[in-house]
Structure 1
Amino acid sequence: MAVDIRLATLRKRVSLPVEVNKLQVSPGDTITTDTGFMRGHGTYIEDEKLIASVAGAVERVNKLICVKPLRTRYNGEVGDVVVGRITERRRSAKDELMMRDYLQEGDLISAEVQAVFADGALSLHTRSLKYGKLGQGTLIQVSPSLVKRRKTHFHNLPCGAAIILGNNGYIWIYPIIERKEDEEGGFVTNFEPVSVSDREVISRLRNCILVLNVYKMLLYDTSVLYCYEASLHQQIKDILKPEVMEEIVMETRQRLINQEG
């Protein structure tokens, strides 16, 4: 019987230069004692210390620090990018007939939140050319609280694949589409077979995003790319092994800390 054994190795310790670089906190944890920072959501000040009031991931924007809860329901905001599957239609019969020329029940799409109603329902649109039906790729679900809000949630990564980081916690990974010179701009649904090399990149990205989700790290283009690069010395099937995940996360965290300075 074959047994897969991983020998213990001496890991390089990650040094955190300041308290504020702590990526995860629990209620009551001190985030920083530096009085130069401002309190944001999920924090309070006591004895000149900035303390977490919820369990979550620390997010810093210049001097403002907030804690993003790890487990929350998705509460949409106008302008959010979402990824989802069409299950039914709620508009008039005329609208439904017109929309069926483009979208059907069961289609996986990306869209933008157009309006938020009092009962929490969202109005979505796909009128921009970058939205619409999704083609070949893979879908991952993560905690919505881990998806960092950015100016754009569509990224062509240098590793050779593209991702849509939905604010609702659904992430779409797909091969980058090479446009022909005579094609016009806009969203193009691609149903061509995906090459083996592209599938390998997509599979590695998928596992890396799952690792970041397990360790409750914020998901955005840089963290995903750093995690991908940290995994390159591992086989794709080994990335989700607990000891391998820990090594990849440690390296990813250190690179993110070094980037922030």
Structure 2
Amino acid sequence: MRDLHFPLNQTQRVRLEAALHELQTLAPAAASAASVTVADSIPVNQEDNILKGHGAADHDGEVVATLCGVVERVNKLVYVRTLRRGILSLFRYKPEVGDIIVGRVIEIAPKRWRLEINFTQDAVLMLSSMNLPDGIQRRRTAVDELNMRSIFEENDVVCAEVRGFQHDGSLHLQARSQKYGKLQRGQLLTVPAYLVKRRKQHFHHLEQYDVDLILGCNGFIWVGQHVLVRENTELKEDQHKLSDEVDTFTSIETRKHICRLANAVRVLSALGFILTIELIIQTAEASLSSNVEINAMLGAEFYVQTAEREARRRADLVRKKNGAR
């Protein structure tokens, strides 16, 4: 549980502790076994012919940890990653090729932009690794380089994909699809990266709210007004029309939806819940059905209600799973 910067009365404190205790008892064994100390048993399936890597060894027919850290698995390889930089290293993003990330431009350099992405180093987005505003695929010229600031400037929020690591250790991004690029008219939220799991889909259009939600693998989350994604040919034909759309006004209703969904993310993050699109929508809908004002979502009572609701949901899932056996 994090970031609860408000007082709880005695009743709320008891209710919250009870809900969190219930959630802890319902947590799967695999989750509790993620962090290990020396001599802790590491659950594995011996029939899989697993390979024991750094920090893992055999002892009396079991695989045990010889280091303190976090259990990592890569195919059949099982090893323990030590927390050399303390517990804060768990909150840092660990990039993988293909990750969808959201970042903020902090510098414009020759032929590249540097982005803050919650990593130990800044990421690099090359001019050659993104679509130009005209949508035409061509070589970048000196004129394009001079016009870089018209594409992205400092403090712009950008969505991109991890392309890979260079020999110097820097992380390179690419934004060659129309779904990537500059994000406007919304809120950028920062949560611990481990709360965002890698999934097949990180872009979500919530039609009922007319809002786009991007769950960046790096823990940067964007909630903003829905933007139509156009193909290159359509983009070229509708340039003037699109420029007119950019100048349109974001309705008050859409702004309220953005704020409500953003507060749902803040509440779930502070409670330490894994962020899924389903859970975010359920939390926002619960605030609406209970007539909770947007600003009241960040009050003590709604935090307690959210924890209790999630405990009931997980308990129901466990009962259904046990009943199906």
TM-score normalised to the size of structure 1? 0.70
**Cα distance in 1 for residues equivalent to 2:270 and 2:248:** 32
8 Å CA contact 1:19, 1:31 repeated in 2: no
Q: Secondary structure at the match of 2:154?
A: coil
8 Å CA contact 1:115, 1:123 repeated in 2: yes
Q: 2:178 — aligned with what?
A: 129
Q: 1:218 — aligned with what?
A: 274
Q: Does 1:164 align with 2:214?
A: yes
Aligned pair in 2 of structure 1 residues 116, 238: CA closer, same or farther (>3 Å)?
same
Aligned pair in 2 of structure 1 residues 23, 8: CA closer, same or farther (>3 Å)?
same
8 Å CA contact 2:26, 2:314 repeated in 1: no
2:299 to 241, 249, 255: 241
Q: Secondary structure at the match of 2:101?
A: strand
Q: Within 5 Å, which residues of 2 pair with 1:141-152?
A: 141-152=190-201
One-letter amino acid of the counterpart of residue 251, structure 1: R
Which deviates more from structure 2 when the two are superposed, residues 94-103 or residues 169-178?
94-103
Tell me which protein shows more helix as a share of its residues: 2
8 Å CA contact 1:82, 1:166 repeated in 2: yes
**Cα distance in 1 for residues equivalent to 2:300 and 2:56:** 34
- The structural deviation recorded for 1:228 is 1.8
Query: How many residues end up aligned between the 2 structures?
Result: 248
One-letter amino acid of the counterpart of residue 167, structure 1: C
8 Å CA contact 1:227, 1:248 repeated in 2: yes
1:196 to 252, 256, 261: 252
Q: Does 1:86 align with 2:105?
A: yes
Aligned pair in 2 of structure 1 residues 179, 242: CA closer, same or farther (>3 Å)?
same
8 Å CA contact 2:179, 2:229 repeated in 1: no
Q: Secondary structure at the match of 1:231?
A: helix
**Cα distance in 1 for residues equivalent to 2:221 and 2:147:** 28
Q: 2:223 — aligned with what?
A: 173
| RMSD, matched Cα | 4.7
**Cα distance in 2 for residues equivalent to 1:224 and 1:194:** 22
Flag the structure with more relative contact order, 1 or 2, with Cα contacts below 8 A and sequence separation at least 6.
Answer: 2
1:231 to 287, 290, 310: 287
Aligned pair in 2 of structure 1 residues 19, 86: CA closer, same or farther (>3 Å)?
closer
2:92 to 45, 56, 73: 73
Q: 1:110 — aligned with what?
A: 159
**Cα distance in 2 for residues equivalent to 1:35 and 1:235:** 49
Question: Which ranges of structure 1 fall in alignment gaps of 5 or more residues?
Answer: 57-65
Question: Which ranges of structure 2 fall in alignment gaps of 5 or more residues?
Answer: 1-7, 72-79, 82-86, 112-140, 237-241
Which deviates more from structure 2 when the two are superposed, residues 156-165 or residues 106-115?
156-165
Which deviates more from structure 2 when the two are superposed, residues 238-247 or residues 206-215?
238-247
Which deviates more from structure 2 when the two are superposed, residues 212-221 or residues 92-101?
92-101
- The structural deviation recorded for 1:155 is 0.5
- The structural deviation recorded for 1:153 is 0.9
Aligned pair in 2 of structure 1 residues 134, 81: CA closer, same or farther (>3 Å)?
same
Which deviates more from structure 2 when the two are superposed, residues 151-160 or residues 202-211?
151-160
Which deviates more from structure 2 when the two are superposed, residues 133-142 or residues 229-238?
229-238
Partner deviation per Cα, 1:155-201 (whole Å, 9 max, x = no partner)? 11254122111112111101224689xx9379x78453221211111
**Cα distance in 2 for residues equivalent to 1:159 and 1:50:** 49
